[in-house]
Amino acid sequence: MSREQLLALVGEQATQIAALRAVNEELATKLARVEHLLSRNSGNSSMPPSRDDDPGRTPPPARRRRGGPQRSKGKQPGAPGASLAWVDRPDDQQDRFPQGRCGCGHDLADATDLGVVDRYQQHEIPQVSVTITQYDQHAVRCGCGTVHTATRPEGARAGLVGYGPNLQAFAVYLMVMQHIPVARCVELLASLTGATPSAGFVHGMLTRAAGLLAEVDHRIRGLITLAHAVCADETPLRVGPKTPKPGRKKAEKYLLVAFTELYIRTICSATATWPPSKPSSSPSSPTRSSCTTATSSTTPRNSVR
């Protein structure tokens, strides 16, 4: 082979080697990408745990508890248990007997009672349904001639019909303690009790309940004022109109909290100062803190001594 042929062969081989190197680098890049994808699991990425069992997938390592001895799953030895206890005096007791006919054809109602062979106590709640009670207030005339008229039951309002105090208190509890919106509270009352109050009536219960608790609110305020140590906090709230009033930069209000170890008082105010000059009368929340006392979970950041 001549020198020219050798040079041509070397040049051709160099071209092939360069092409093979390019293909090799491309394959190495693809392999690294595949290995990276297969190495992902629920422990090192946002993939769900259900994808950990895919073919070729690397499962996440078993999690180890930080410090302390390893313990098994479930209830630990010595931990207090919780279960239904047998009640010696149940609210109701029913005797159950086999019914129908025996294989011989005799009616089991005429069979001999051999006594109780099995006992079972069931904890159940009664089916809740609204009941309508009509109260007729009578007038009587005393022997002296004076006429006396019976008063309506406690919690009755003006008009021919109305909702009782238990249903109203239940609606306030759902809205204040469980943070259920008014519309969903109406749906819940209809589903559980069959009562169908309007959204406006249910929302108005907050103001009425706040008015009934006015005396309690004043007493809590006085006890907090007389306390030796009081914690206070403020939290912005997005309630009321979105457009600020003239002279204000923001339309948001503030939830002001003052509490001690025994008492807590909250109020919605347009200013972040305590005590506020004038309580807010926004329809989005009651003006009295007694209705919202247990709804605040704000961490105190200011301490007044």
Percent of the chain with pLDDT over 90: 44
Q: Is the pLDDT of residue 282 over 80?
A: no
Which pLDDT score, from 0 to 100, does residue 294 have?
35
DSSP tag of 257: E
Q: Is the pLDDT of residue 185 over 90?
A: yes
Which pLDDT score, from 0 to 100, does residue 219 have?
93
Q: Is the pLDDT of residue 289 over 60?
A: no
> Which DSSP string do the residues of 184-212 spell out, in sequence order?
HHHHHHHHHH-----HHHHHHHHHHHHHH
Helix (H, G, I), strand (E, B) or coil at 258: strand
- Where is average pLDDT lowest: 13-22, 69-78, 101-110, 266-275? 266-275
Domain map (residue ranges) of the chain: 165-211, 216-304
pLDDT, tens only, 59-115:
787 776 666 667 777 777 888 877 888 999 999 999 999 999 999 999 999 999 999
**Of 254, 128, 119, nearest in space to 188 by CA:** 128
Q: Which residue has the higher pLDDT, 245 or 258?
A: 258
Per-residue pLDDT band at 273 (split at 50, 70, 90): low
Which pLDDT score, from 0 to 100, does residue 69 have?
66
Which pLDDT score, from 0 to 100, does residue 293 have?
40
Q: Is the pLDDT of residue 292 over 80?
A: no
Tokens found for residue 107: 């009616």
Can you list the alpha helix ranges (DSSP code H) found in 151-304? 165-176, 182-193, 199-212, 214-226
